[in-house]
A and B are shown apart, each in its own frame.
Chain A
Amino acid sequence: MSLFNVLNIAGSALDAQSKRLNIVASNLANAESTTSSTGEPYRARQIVFQAVPLGGKHLKNGATVQVKQIAEDQSPPRRVYDPKHPTADKQGYVTYPNVNPVDEMVNMISASRSYQTNVDVITTTKAMLSRLLTIGQ
């Protein structure tokens, strides 16, 4: 039934947006992490969404959303001159992650808004479903 599909679609969006928020949190938390488990400085992660059509290749029945990949940002890292820092190289430069806090904040607000909108969709659809049950009463 179509209305239950709406719940699936909006639910998938909630999942995708919370994963996006997760990535933002990871980027912001590691904005100053000069080393990681690989020994390299942390690299910012970017999430890529993908539409998954319901039933068939075309969008005739709408599409849920899923995370296609979590890509590492390939932009160059930030280098800061700080010879006293334990991870400084021979020239005295420390390599910091390529996380841009401004971008991340924008991403965070966008994810939060999208999440809210999808919760609204679920609320509206729930009201429609329970309204349907009142037929004949």
Chain B
Amino acid sequence: MQASRLDREVDFHAQALNLRAYRQQLLSSNIANADTPNYKAVDINFEQELKRITSRRSDALTLQATQKNHLQARSGNSLGAHVQYRTDVQPNIDGNTVNLDVERAKLAENAFRYENTVRTISGQFRTLLSAIRG
């Protein structure tokens, strides 16, 4: 499907927004499980994943479906992001690797950058609108 100009304009930031929301989910999961024995903190490398997701759109690897009820291969999450365990922290004696301070800081950072992206998209729409209205 040929993406329209309008789509392309916003698509990159929309992907970034999706990935930010997904990362928020992982970080909140870390915070929620800060007292769970043997829980290992998870996160994604945002820059890497965004590159991967945005570049994949042109050469997407899909299974060939000859019947309409054939299933498509799907990775574990809808974005196909590589989730990684945090390794730079000292584990607690119960095997938990959540460092609450680190997670809170990352959560705040993620929320801020999410807002940043939202504003960028709004700005793009405003630009487009001003071009339409003249």
Residues in chain A near residue B42, CB distance under 8 A: 59, 62
Indicate the member of B40, B114, B115, B122 with the most A CB atoms within 10 Å. Answer: B114
Please report the C-alpha to C-alpha distance between residue A50 and residue B83 in the assembled complex, in whole angstroms. 20
Structural contact, B118 and A134, CB atoms closer than 8 A = yes
Chain A residue with the shortest CB-CB distance to B83: A60
Q: Is A18's beta carbon under 8 Å from chain B?
A: no
Structural contact, A128 and B24, CB atoms closer than 8 A = yes
Interface secondary structure of B, over-half rule: helix
Q: Is B55's beta carbon under 8 Å from chain A?
A: no
Structural contact, B31 and A117, CB atoms closer than 8 A = yes
Interface secondary structure of A, over-half rule: helix
- With A2-B18, A12-B32, A131-B114 already in contact, the answer to whether A61 and B77 are too (CB < 8 A) is yes
- With A117-B100, A128-B115, A132-B118 already in contact, the answer to whether A2 and B33 are too (CB < 8 A) is no
Residues in chain B near residue A135, CB distance under 8 A: 118, 121-122, 125
- With A117-B100, A128-B114 already in contact, the answer to whether A61 and B34 are too (CB < 8 A) is no
Indicate the member of B21, B29, B37, B42 with the most A CB atoms within 10 Å. Answer: B29
Chain B residue with the shortest CB-CB distance to A129: B21
Residues of B participating in the A interface, judged by any CB pair closer than 8 Å: 17-18, 21-22, 24-26, 28-37, 39-40, 42, 76-77, 81, 83, 100, 104, 107-108, 111, 114-115, 118, 121-122, 125
Looking at the complex, which one of B24, B32, B37, B39 makes contact with A118 (CB distance below 8 Å)?
Answer: B32
Looking at the complex, which one of A17, A48, A124 makes contact with B37 (CB distance below 8 Å)?
Answer: A48
Known pairs A5-B25, A16-B32. 9 more at Cβ < 8 A? A9-B28, A50-B36, A64-B32, A114-B35, A117-B100, A117-B104, A125-B111, A128-B111, A137-B122
Chain A residue with the shortest CB-CB distance to B103: A117
Q: Is A85's beta carbon under 8 Å from chain B?
A: no
Please report the C-alpha to C-alpha distance between residue A58 and residue B100 in the assembled complex, in whole angstroms. 21
Looking at the complex, which one of B18, B28, B37, B77 makes contact with A121 (CB distance below 8 Å)?
Answer: B28
Structural contact, B31 and A13, CB atoms closer than 8 A = yes
* A/B interface sample: 10 pairs, CB < 8 A: A2-B18, A9-B28, A13-B32, A49-B36, A56-B76, A58-B83, A64-B32, A65-B36, A125-B28, A134-B122
Structural contact, A136 and B125, CB atoms closer than 8 A = yes
Please report the C-alpha to C-alpha distance between residue A6 and residue B107 in the assembled complex, in whole angstroms. 11
Structural contact, B24 and A6, CB atoms closer than 8 A = yes
